[in-house]
Structure 1
Amino acid sequence: MAWGTVIVAGGARADDLMGLALAEVHEQVGKPTTFYLRYPVERDANGDLFPLKEPRLAPGAEIAVFQRGAAFNDCLVKGYVFSHQIRLVHGVEGSTVEVIGADSTILMDRETKITQWADNTSDSDAVSSILGSYGLTPDVQSTNTRHMENKRTLIQHDTDLNFIQMLARRNGYLFWVRADELLAETAYFKPPALDAVTDAPLLRINLDNPNMRTFEISWDVERPTSVIAAAYDGAAKTTIDGSGVVPPTTFAGDEPLSSIVGGPRSTSVIAAVADAGDLTGRAAGVLNDSSWFVQATCTVSAEEVGAVIHAYSLVNVHGAGTRFSGSYFVAAVRHVMNSDAHLMTLTLVRNGWKP
């Protein structure tokens, strides 16, 4: 059995589906969360191969993967099965099946839609409306731009998932879905939160009681720190100026990239937009995406950290020197649960460092 892993199938605890050889959950910013459940293949009482025809692992079956320990009861993912990878060995012993699925966002990526949104609709209005149709609780931060019929209406010609992700990039936002311990799902559409909360998981190295054995850091400053943004208002016959874009927020006390590098490092945003707010929002999104110039990776144990770490959250790092200690944004987590431990391989990013 995978360490601390509990499987919930169709909303009910499934003790007979917990004989896992391995469970993995992959979280990454901008992508659906996926799960991989490896089962041994065995002969059942009828001589057939279990669990190859198990209805609770069939196409579209709902699965939730929980991780339970002394300090946490966490739903890693709630999603739907979309694939099996089967390896059969003659005589059956040693045969395996890997059950693969993804979170609820895959439901939003099945149908391309052509929609002209109503007059005076904002990006956040459109997102909230879409999320409601999937039964998700929206946690949506308002956007400034409103799309007017006498200027430029908001038109969708893609799947709901791709459309929302496009709107997120335009505004410097992120979009993701997470289920709580009661399997209630919340969909988030908002900028990355960089408020360094004191109760964020603490990762320690070069100190007493370390929970990291290695911490690999890289940085790359060859990226834009400013944006030239312009558009043309065909109705008013004037140029829309997108200058004065606010640079990305850093963690408290961090020096931003623009202060670290010298000389101009600019990119451009030329787009058909409704107004200056729309243009500056897109420019801010470009700067936000390019600002994460520090990246770090490490592997830690959920038991040693005392918490399950998720993408889109924060961690605090101690013992990495004055420059690289501090808060990091979690860009990706690969959870691996085997018979001995729950290991988390983290990709952490930062858009500044301590002077």
Structure 2
Amino acid sequence: MATTRMLLEIDGTEADRDTLDALIEVRAEEATDEADAALVTMRVDPDASGGWPSLLDPLVTPRTPLAVRLERDGRSYRFDGYSARAVWDLDAEGRSTLTVLAIDRSLDLDREEKAVAWPGQRDSAMAETIFTEHKLRAEVASTPAGFDPDVHTVMQRGTDWSFVRELAVKWGYVAYLEADDGGQVTGHFHPPAPLAEPQGELALGFGGDAHRAQIRVDLLAGRRVIARRTPPLAAAAVTADAAGDDEAMAEVSLSARATELLAPQDVAGEVDVRQAATGRARHSAYGVTLTAAVDTDRTGLLLRARRTVLVRGLGPVLSGGYLVDRVRHVVTLEAHRQEVTLRRNALGATGFGPGGPG
């Protein structure tokens, strides 16, 4: 079975195998609703002058580039970001370490508070403009047309990143940055895809990939969202009713377990009140959360967040398709473990071939 290959690049220079002898651990994490992050820990030993030199010393300068690339069996993940915090743990009689935390390129979008008017633009156009202004490739799903600028102008008050995230929440979209193998970063602004083709299978429980998994189910998750508002200069109100069960990942949907009545100001600025209600209803239905730690040598699978995975071995209620909400890769020179958080919006095993859920 293939093993995980890791590249560590500090301020544009790749670390070779000899310099990585002092490496203790690398943690690289991607998640749906948070910036990607990397945590690198290395052993440090005192020199003759009383200093504690380390391969990570360049990263002690704020916002120094750090890249971590993991590759296994044709699949890869690349973290591309900047150093944000350094912690020395010094012990003159034992093992001393330097740990550096890095955050992805969203730091570039989160540096400056702004007050910007966006007259007559779609929310998706605003997100795309912000991505391109920061020299990012943009993968953006369209939202309905914006207001007539003579009637209403959207105002941004905050950083570019906080503004894009707010726009995404409004439509039930996800917003994140993702680096490809060559270091090109893409800004994403679009709905999640819970019914997409799975990136692979995890055999949990008695399946062997992880003997222990914790699954929490909110049996009252899911909102039937009723929204009502009167557009500017319109003679009548527009009403939308969304159950959020149109993208159920199994036969027993967790949608519409409660009702949420939105006030007119809750959807202010929206042109398509139905799309806003639908996004909010869909987002509320993800009531199943599964956490597990998997041995990558056993699974042979390099999982990626924001994609789907098929889970076997948990029986007909809990097996089936899941969205990968978070992946934390814990890599040493000897092993690679993945700590995963999976979510879904329904109960029941579906998406299996003739062999059943297994």
TM-score between both structures, scaled by the size of structure 2:
0.87
* Aligned partners of 1:52 and 1:97 also within 8 Å: no
C-alpha deviation, 1:265, in angstroms: 3.2
Read off the aligned partner of 1:95 and give its amino acid letter: S
State which of 28, 31, 37 in structure 1 corresponds to 2:34: 31
State which of 303, 310, 316 in structure 2 corresponds to 1:309: 303
C-alpha deviation, 1:12, in angstroms: 3.3
Is 1:88 the counterpart of 2:90? The answer is yes
Change (3 A) 1:211 1:103: same
* Aligned partners of 2:231 and 2:271 also within 8 Å: no
Match of 1:256 in 2: 253
Residue aligned with 1:287, SS: helix
Per-residue Cα deviation, 1:25-64 (whole angstroms, up to 9, x for no partner)? 2322211111110111123576532128822552111111
Residue aligned with 1:265, SS: strand
**C-alpha separation between the residues in 2 aligned to 1:167 and 1:79?**
23
Is 1:280 the counterpart of 2:271? The answer is no
Is 1:268 the counterpart of 2:268? The answer is no
% identical equivalent positions: 25
Change (3 A) 1:338 1:269: farther
Is 1:75 the counterpart of 2:77? The answer is yes
C-alpha deviation, 1:67, in angstroms: 1.7
Unaligned runs of 5+ in 1: none
How do 1:158-307 residues align onto structure 2 when only pairs under 5 Å count?
158-198=158-198, 200-205=199-204, 210-236=208-234, 238-245=235-242, 247-251=244-248, 253-258=250-255, 265-271=259-265, 273-274=268-269, 276-277=271-272, 279-307=273-301
Unaligned runs of 5+ in 2: 350-358
**C-alpha separation between the residues in 2 aligned to 1:282 and 1:7?**
42
C-alpha deviation, 1:233, in angstroms: 3.2
* Aligned partners of 2:305 and 2:324 also within 8 Å: yes
* Aligned partners of 2:221 and 2:255 also within 8 Å: no
Change (3 A) 1:253 1:47: closer
Residue aligned with 1:129, SS: helix
Match of 1:133 in 2: 133
**C-alpha separation between the residues in 2 aligned to 1:248 and 1:169?**
18
**C-alpha separation between the residues in 1 aligned to 2:118 and 2:197?**
38
Is 138-147 or 268-277 further displaced after alignment? 268-277
Aligned residue pair count? 344
Residue aligned with 1:114, SS: strand
* Aligned partners of 1:74 and 1:181 also within 8 Å: yes
Change (3 A) 1:351 1:89: same
* Aligned partners of 1:73 and 1:181 also within 8 Å: no
Per-residue Cα deviation, 1:94-119 (whole angstroms, up to 9, x for no partner)? 11111111001121111111111133
Match of 1:20 in 2: 23
Change (3 A) 1:41 1:143: same
Residue aligned with 1:43, SS: coil
C-alpha deviation, 1:201, in angstroms: 1.9
Is 78-87 or 52-61 further displaced after alignment? 52-61
Is 79-88 or 55-64 further displaced after alignment? 55-64
Per-residue Cα deviation, 1:306-335 (whole angstroms, up to 9, x for no partner)? 222122111111121112111100111222
**C-alpha separation between the residues in 2 aligned to 1:52 and 1:197?**
41
Is 279-288 or 39-48 further displaced after alignment? 39-48
**C-alpha separation between the residues in 2 aligned to 1:197 and 1:325?**
16
* Aligned partners of 2:202 and 2:299 also within 8 Å: yes
Change (3 A) 1:73 1:223: closer
Per-residue Cα deviation, 1:138-179 (whole angstroms, up to 9, x for no partner)? 111111142321332221111011000000001110011111
* Aligned partners of 2:89 and 2:97 also within 8 Å: yes
Match of 1:146 in 2: 146
Is 1:110 the counterpart of 2:107? The answer is no
Per-residue Cα deviation, 1:183-240 (whole angstroms, up to 9, x for no partner)? 1111111111123415x221013566x212122212112234211212233433x453
Match of 1:346 in 2: 340
